[in-house]
Amino acid sequence: MSASAPAYPHTPESGGEAARLYHAEHGCKVPYIDLSAPRPEAKSYPAAEAVPLPYPPRARTGFRADRPDGLGDLLALTYGVTRVEWGGGGVRAGRPLPSGGAAYPGELYLSAEFGLCHYLPSAHALERLNEADLRRQIVDALEAQPAERPRLILLLTSRHEANLPAFGGFGHRMQTLDTGVLAGQALALIDAAGAEVRVHTRFDEARLNRILGLDPRAESVRAIVTAGLGHDAPLPVPAFSTDPGANQAGIPRRIMARHTAADGFDAVSIPLPRVLEILETAAEEIPSDIRTGHGAEFASLDLYCVANRVDGLEPACYKRSAATGALGRVRETVDPRTLFPSGSDGELAHFQAACALLIVGDYEHGYREHGDRWYRMLNLQAGILAQRIGLSATGAGLGSMLRCDYQVKVADRLIHASPGRTVLVAVLVGLEHGVGRPGHRLLLGGYGS
Ligand SMILES: Cc1cc2nc3c(=O)[nH]c(=O)nc-3n(C[C@H](O)[C@H](O)[C@H](O)COP(=O)(O)O)c2cc1C
């Protein structure tokens, strides 16, 4: 598939038919991934006014949206270049969040009082595309408009040439998961800064693309995050506290420490309470425009745990109860060890990990309500939950690894769910092998980092 292949979903709207076809052909199975495929240069606007942000950024929460330098820390922790990693005979820039194949097809734009800008992670700078305050026009393109004008609007796009050459058609689904991961990161940080925050998935995409000057055959808007007034002073972080505020202040620290457990896991048990805490954090309500309207109940995602070595749990598949948070054993249908293809990297990683947490959703019911775009809305939510799991596992001193290469049919039999519900992404969790790979950090350790 060429990098400029038509973006999913196809227009005109087909009530889910195009999404079903896409899923059957491309979205339901990870293809051979060509990681040597050419990578495009970073997106930049050389003709735009460059606004450097304070460097080095600090790992802390808090932002001011009325001037560019009030956003530097937030942008760096959301999507900057936060570490340098040597390994495998090479060096690469590490980012504060995962991306399928480390392709980072997402681009981050923002609209605030001082204009419309593109964030350039490598230079930690803003490129001002328009000096005008376009927040009103952007809000007008949203279906669920916030009551008050947001102080800050983040526009999350995906660029096809960044991951389609490596992933082929599956890259479109990967983009939606990646967008969810990025939205999840922004939600966590803005929420920790005490600001009202909401992710928008229903909007006039063509109109927003025009505002950004994007050619949708190359790059298109995938999600919008609106933020209210945040605090600018860092939150105090007591050494021991049950105060949720203290937990939020730990978000920058978790973001800085999070990375994929690339050296694998030690095959040892982890305590059940840690798993329950991670799942509870993941299951928190997503502040979004998704759960409004009819069919809202089908918007909910379910969480499952395929336990290998979790103290107090027999190795088996368990479903988390949304009501009580408890794990209930799923009737045995298939051997959980067959979740990943025999002989694959995934099988080995799964063998070492203490458990695989599965994020499960329903495509069919959502198509009735939201049409084709439900496909993206659902995968975006899965990405948000996956990022929450990664950050929460880091907070619990555990390693994590997102995976899409499980056997979908096995996974769907394993969860024994009602028809239509399917596994959207898997996150392996366990004690990371060795010392891990924190890399050389490029952020100053700020308060709460
Ligand atoms: C949606 C998604 C799916 C991923 N799937 C896989 C996978 O199937 N196998 C794998 O080894 N890594 C997978 N990753 C992890 C990326 O390879 C990893 O995030 C990337 O190399 C960047 O490294 P870091 O997470 O340490 O910053 C996935 C990441 C995301 C966001």
Q: What residue ranges do the domains of the chain occupy?
A: 41-227, 264-432
Q: Which mutation among 39, 99, 339, 423 tests ligand 1's pocket best, with the greatest number of atoms within 8 A of CB?
A: 99
Asked whether the predicted pLDDT for residue 202 surpasses 90, the reply is yes
CB atoms within 10 A of CB 64: 18
Looking at every residue in the chain, the average pLDDT score rounds to: 91
Contacts of 407 (CB under 8 A, 6+ apart): 338, 339, 340, 341
The band of 4, judged by pLDDT with boundaries at 50, 70 and 90, is: very low
Q: What 8-state DSSP symbol labels residue 269?
A: -
The DSSP annotation for 166-180 comes to: HHTTHHHHHHHHHHH
The band of 443, judged by pLDDT with boundaries at 50, 70 and 90, is: confident
Average pLDDT of 285-301?
76
Asked whether the predicted pLDDT for residue 237 surpasses 90, the reply is no
pLDDT of 61-117, one tens digit each? 899 999 999 999 999 999 999 999 887 788 889 999 999 999 999 999 999 999 999
351: which 2 tokens?
A: 């063998």
Cβ–ligand 1 distance for 223 under 6 Å, the answer: no
Percent of the chain clearing pLDDT 90 (strictly above):
78
Contacts of 210 (CB under 8 A, 6+ apart): none
Architecture of the structural domain at 264-432: 3-Layer(aba) Sandwich (3.40)
Pairing between strand 83-87 and 90-94? antiparallel
Q: Which CATH code of 3.90.245.10, 3.40.50.300, 3.40.109.10, 3.50.50.60 fits the domain covering 41-227?
A: 3.40.109.10
Give the per-residue pLDDT at 127: 98
Give the per-residue pLDDT at 309: 98
Lowest-confidence range among 297-311, 387-401, 431-445? Answer: 431-445
Cβ–ligand 1 distance for 100 under 6 Å, the answer: yes
Asked whether the predicted pLDDT for residue 176 surpasses 50, the reply is yes
The band of 293, judged by pLDDT with boundaries at 50, 70 and 90, is: low
The band of 298, judged by pLDDT with boundaries at 50, 70 and 90, is: low
Asked whether the predicted pLDDT for residue 1 surpasses 50, the reply is no
Cβ–ligand 1 distance for 402 under 6 Å, the answer: yes
Cβ–ligand 1 distance for 99 under 6 Å, the answer: yes
Give the per-residue pLDDT at 88: 76
Compute the distance between CA of residue 312 and CA of residue 308 in angstroms, rounded to an integer. 11
Give the per-residue pLDDT at 171: 97
Give the per-residue pLDDT at 244: 46
CA dihedral 278, 199, 7, 389 (to 10 degrees): -10
Contacts of 167 (CB under 8 A, 6+ apart): 30, 31, 33, 100, 101, 103, 174
Average pLDDT of 196-218?
97
Give the distance (Å) from ligand 1 centre to CA of residue 180: 13
Residue nearest to atom 11 of ligand 1 (CA): 403
Give the distance (Å) from ligand 1 centre to CA of residue 234: 31
Residue 432 pairs with which residues in a beta bridge?
265
pLDDT of 29-73, one tens digit each? 898 899 889 889 999 999 999 999 999 999 888 999 999 999 999
List the one residue out of 269, 339, 273 whose CA is nearest residue 310. 269
Asked whether the predicted pLDDT for residue 239 surpasses 60, the reply is no
> Is the fold of 41-227 the same as that of 264-432?
yes
Lowest-confidence range among 319-333, 337-351, 395-409, 426-440? Answer: 426-440
Phi–psi pair at 49, nearest 5 degrees: -70, 125
